[in-house]
Amino acid sequence: MLDGLVLSIDAMGGDAAPNIVINGIEYFLKHEGKNRHARFIIHGDETQLKPLMAKAPLTTGRSEIQHTPDVIEMDAKPSYAMRRGKGTSMWNAIASVKEGEAKVAVSAGNTGALMAMSKLLLRMKAGVQRPAIAARWPHQQGFGVVLDVGANLDCDANQLREFAVLGEAYYRALYKKDKPSIGLLNVGTEELKGNATIQAAHDSLSCSKLGLNYIGFVEGNDISMGDVDVIVTDGFTGNIALKTAEGTARLLGKFIKSALQDNLWSKIMSFLNMPALARMKKRMDPRTGNGGVFLGLNGIVIKSHGGTDAIGFASALSVALEMADSQFLHEIERTLSALHDEDESMEIHLP
């Protein structure tokens, strides 16, 4: 039997699974998770996992394999995953959380399937309409949290408000900050900007007595500045903003590379300037932000990017461990229930 904080891992999800998963755990145990007593239940095909684990001594020492030969394909539809997913490595990884064997599940598999199974197995917290996906967003001082980034395309004001509560609790659990600031993503910061839904969410967050540190509307450029900790938006806008930022970062990376290699002189100079460039590359590394968290369920599920490598997967494991080591689930239960009490006492009816 394992002791310490237990993470449940879908070893078969992701473009380069199970290799990057096992290597990711090994990397994590060597670095970020060195003294954290994390332990792992690894769900996957034993015949593929054993040779990999033979080369991963730290992982072997802190894990048990639960043999699961079946896998959900990366392009499976959520409906298919729900009908036929039972007994796959993804399903079992979530089931370990449901059954209390593990505190958090991590998968780099298909997002739609993972969300569908998570909802089915873990169910929503009382009062939550639908779960949200929260992403970490690099900024000048560290990371902000943006949600929803794709689970809910059309959101009403009530949902946006729930995201504020969920995101705030997530930020506190992850970064141990007492009163993280919350902003509502809009096309301008003036009170009158935005559509009816945004306006209603703004009004109710502004009037709330829950003690949230709500600072009002923020704009797209504020996300990267780090002046706000939690950015709330609907899943359509959040998904597009996140991917737009990724695209912009990739483009600038290419500009930098070509600028620094345009001629021999640049090449020599860039070589001599290696340490600075390496530092820059590290700060721009998208792998450090890997790991989207499903919020609003009776359990914590973390989605790693499907195309990530071992270092990226290790980064998702860091998030998983912080969440496992927090009071997140209890806290949101308390706040969500206060939120709904407030609604009833104020007789707020949101569009």
* Contacts to its own copies by CB under 8 A: 138-140, 150, 153-154, 185-187, 194-195, 219-225, 233, 235-237, 239-252, 254-256, 259-260, 262-263, 265-266, 269-270, 272-273, 275-277, 279-280, 283-284
Angle at CA 106, nearest 5°, toward 163 and 177?
Answer: 45
Q: State which residue, 126 or 240, has the beta carbon closest to its own copies.
A: 240
Q: Please, what is the minimum distance in Å from the beta carbon of residue 285 to its own copies?
A: 11
Q: Please, what is the minimum distance in Å from the beta carbon of residue 110 to its own copies?
A: 12
Q: State which residue, 127 or 216, has the beta carbon closest to its own copies.
A: 216
* Alpha-carbon span 35 to 37, nearest angstrom: 6
Q: State which residue, 260 or 338, has the beta carbon closest to its own copies.
A: 260
Q: State which residue, 15 or 246, has the beta carbon closest to its own copies.
A: 246
In 3D space, the residue among 196, 186, 194 whose CA is nearest the CA of residue 218 turns out to be 186
304 — alpha (psi -120 to 50), left (phi > 0) or beta? beta
Q: State which residue, 84 or 139, has the beta carbon closest to its own copies.
A: 139
